[in-house]
Amino acid sequence: MTAANRPVALAPNLPETFYAGSGRLARFHGEALPPLPEEWVASTTRRYGQSTAGLSELPDGSTLLDAITAEPQQWLGRSYADTGLLVKLLDAGQRLPLHVHPDRAFARTHLASPYGKTEAWIIVDASPGATVNLGFRRDVEPDELARWVEKQDIAAMLAATHEVPVHAGDAVLCPAGTPHAIGADILLVELQEPTDLSIMLETEGFPIAPDDASLGLSRDTALACVNRSGISDAQLREWMTATAGSMLPASAGEFFRAEPVADGATVHGFAVLIVTEGAGVLAGPWGATDIRRGSTLVLPFAAGPARVTGSVSGVLCAPPRELPLR
């Protein structure tokens, strides 16, 4: 039986990054881990500008990318090796810098990528008073934004954004182009398009090289990907309102899917399963696998449907039903 015929439990994949964690990630897994804030789960995406950082390994030491490239039909149920998805566990020990991700049109034009980076956050744990910054509260002129970035007027940038309280169980869609910053003391599941494309509006106090901050683009070109329009309270509510059978709003479906998992649920790959509470069993034609809080598994298409039993809850993360044309 090959790896593609059954769910595969994954060890934490922790590429280095520039901000601090809080220790929530180690507590989530119930094991000692390096004090790094990001776990890239079932990742076939490389860290920007690096050759292997970010890629997940299977238990035999091979990369998931190589396995999928060799057997895309078995893993994905299609003939080409594009997962269409990046999933992370993110443990913010400090407020992340204000930044933005390009959309698909910008990425195709300037970055030779069919994917931008719309993302969504499913909050697993948050301290009282935890917040995220999401979208400008008013329209911002191009010169005003450029001046804030050049002078690193962080107070003005943050004051212009919505500061949104978040709690465990909340889910937030962050469309590409939206300025945002995840606040301190939050553990979340992050679903993304499969890129590592970020344009940093805030760099002061963070070890971010200028070229990395703009993805090698000129400042004016990079800032052209920012949605400078004011985001209404009604729009924010829509980005935080789930549709039936999903943990996310309907507009997320173009980019990824997130479904709640509990006792009695049936799951089918290709997908990533993250168990957020409790313990139970995942059973299918291949046998049975014990799961518990902190378990992270990749479910290959060829493994077939599986049933979850036990006092367990989690998130099933899956790509969109249709991938963008390459």
Taking only the tens place, the pLDDT of each residue in 72-122 is: 999 999 999 999 999 999 999 999 999 999 999 999 999 999 999 999 999
pLDDT of 206 over the 60 cut: yes
pLDDT of 142 over the 90 cut: yes
As a whole number of angstroms, the distance between CA 117 and CA 285 comes to: 35
Residue 1 pLDDT grade (very low, low, confident, very high; cuts 50, 70, 90): very low
161-170: average pLDDT: 98
pLDDT at 180: 98
One-letter amino acid at 114 equals P
Helix (H) or strand (E) holding 109: helix 104-111
Q: Taking the CB of residue 130, how many other CB atoms lie within 10 A of it?
A: 21
In the block, residue with structure tokens 């059954």: 6
Cβ distance 107 to 98 under 8 Å?
no
- Go through the domains of the chain in sequence order and give each one's CATH number: 3-254 (2.60.120.10), 257-318 (2.60.120.10)
Alpha helices in 152-191 (DSSP H): 154-159
As a whole number of angstroms, the distance between CA 170 and CA 11 comes to: 26
As a whole number of angstroms, the distance between CA 155 and CA 157 comes to: 6
Cβ distance 68 to 83 under 8 Å?
yes
Cβ distance 194 to 117 under 8 Å?
no
| Residues pairing with 281 in the sheet | 290, 309
pTM of the model: 0.97
